[in-house]
């Protein structure tokens, strides 16, 4: 039903006014927030091809204190290393998320300890919890059985974690999956086509869910 509603809205609205953008979060702490540079342009291209929604060609890089964050409904972050937010940045991110923003974080292998610490500081009353497989994020545009495994790394199963605010998923975090690597140009990581397709399906689902969750 929500997929049909989404398509109706696309047909009813001028495409130029609905151009989709993805924000990339630039954070401190020394981690490579800029990892997987071809992932978001490819992601945007696939969203446009698969859903018909006109999308931007590149991401918008945002810091937590940038005023433009308040106007960005969907922000992505990734990296291999440490991340850190100042108290002012934590306050801005919390206000943005409580106001309806959606953050998708993908561990590019190595970000997990500092990301969990940051989320604990951001929402001490709402810890990260596993997102059940029957959650709409896995059944929005595509029917998925859960988070796909793109790179082996430690060989542990991929997981989707979330922060729920007032019962609504507001932060989605994929761990031991490396979705961003699967979105990159095929020549970068030499992922087979089926792995890249799995990554794109997960990424499209996350974005589609974030855009339609108020109707779900």
Token look-up 């810890």 returns: 127
Report pLDDT for 109.
Answer: 93
Prediction pTM value: 0.91
CA-to-CA separations, 90 to 27, 39, 64, 95, 150, in angstroms, rounded: 11, 26, 8, 9, 31
Helices (H), 58-149: 87-98, 112-122
Report pLDDT for 19.
Answer: 86
Which domains are seen in the chain, by residue range? 2-11+21-215 (3.40.50.12140)
Report pLDDT for 215.
Answer: 65
* Segment-wise mean pLDDT, segments of 10 residues, the chain, 216 residues: 43 50 97 97 97 93 97 97 97 97 96 97 94 97 97 88 96 97 91 96 97 78
From the list 10, 17, 84, the residue with the least C-alpha distance to 47 is 10
159-165 vs 168-175, strand pairing mode: antiparallel
Token look-up 């499209």 returns: 204
Which residues, 6 or more positions from 36, have their beta carbon under 8 angstroms from its beta carbon?
A: 78, 108, 180, 181, 183, 184
Residues in the chain: 216
What does the block give as tokens for 207? 């974005």
159-165 vs 129-130, strand pairing mode: antiparallel
Coil, strand or helix at 165: strand
């Amino acid at each position: 039903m929500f997929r049909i509603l989404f398509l109706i809205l696309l047909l009813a609205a001028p495409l130029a006014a609905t151009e989709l953008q993805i924000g990339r979060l630039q954070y401190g702490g020394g981690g490579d927030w800029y990892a997987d540079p071809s992932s978001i342009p490819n992601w945007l291209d696939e969203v446009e091809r698969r859903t018909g929604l006109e999308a931007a060609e590149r991401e918008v890089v945002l810091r937590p204190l940038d005023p433009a964050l308040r106007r960005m409904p969907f922000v992505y972050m990734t990296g291999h290393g440490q991340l850190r937010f100042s108290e002012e940045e934590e306050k801005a991110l919390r206000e943005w998320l409580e106001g309806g923003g959606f953050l998708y974080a993908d561990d590019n292998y190595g970000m997990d300890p500092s990301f969990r610490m940051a989320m604990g500081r951001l929402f001490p009353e709402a810890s990260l919890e596993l997102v059940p497989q029957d959650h709409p994020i896995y059944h929005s545009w595509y029917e998925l059985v859960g988070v796909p495994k793109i790179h082996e790394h430690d060989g542990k199963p991929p997981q989707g974690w979330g922060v729920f605010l007032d019962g609504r998923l507001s932060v989605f975090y994929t761990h031991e999956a490396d979705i961003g690597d699967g979105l990159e140009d095929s020549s970068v990581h030499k992922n087979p086509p089926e792995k890249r397709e799995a990554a794109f399906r997960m990424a499209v689902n996350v974005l589609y869910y974030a855009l339609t969750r108020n109707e779900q």
